[in-house]
Copies of this chain bind each other. A is one copy, B any other.
Amino acid sequence: MTPSPARRGELLGVAAEVFAAQGYNATTVRKIADEAGMLAGSLYYHFDSKEGILDEILSSFLDELWQGYDEVLAAGLGPRETIEALVTESFREIDRHRAAVAIYQKESRHLAQQERFAYLVESQQKFEKAWLGTLERGVAAQVFRSDLDIRLTYRFVRDTVWVAASWYRPGGQHSPEEIARQYLSMVLDGIAVRI
């Protein structure tokens, strides 16, 4: 009567991969089932809806993300070190949950309007608070430039990191930590040669 968690896990992985590749709306439940070697109807033994699958993918990704973030934020680091740690943690998440991150990027904005996905909004607010707060701390501490619009800077840093999920392929030549290092170098010090 109760579906095995192991099989669920596999199926969630398959679904995430397909959602990421084709988009949630464009993905049919039959495509997922095909990929999993079963018939469309059979998925409903494990999940109660297509939306439910998406929900589980996104929420379990965010749970894990926040576990990492909360640890960083609780560590009492300086603003620059916090940013560095958050960026590094983010690239690690992209490495581990590439599909989920890609789905999140593409779908979260319009999903957020639905009751069921209200947690996306919450998460985004918490996210903004963490990053914006750290940047503000950094400006106050004269670690970050004060001549920039702070919200623009926030968006810049945020987008800069997460869009990477759209091209990142796990197992490539750069480790997440290496990519994080280079991104941080660009974001913090710029791409121009210092005179």
Contact = CB atoms under 8 A, between A and B. Distances in A.
Given A25-B26, A192-B80, A192-B145, A155 B182 contact: no
Interface stretch (A6-14, A60-68, A70-78, A160-168): A160-168
A148 B25 contact: no
Contacts of A191: 144-145, 148, 153, 156-157, 187-188
Contact of A192 (B143, B159, B163, B183): B143
Interface of A: 21-23, 25-26, 80, 106, 109-110, 142-145, 147-149, 152-153, 155-157, 159-160, 163-164, 166-167, 174, 179, 182-183, 185-194
Nearest to A160: B160
Interface of A is mostly: helix
B182 A152 contact: yes
Nearest to A156: B186
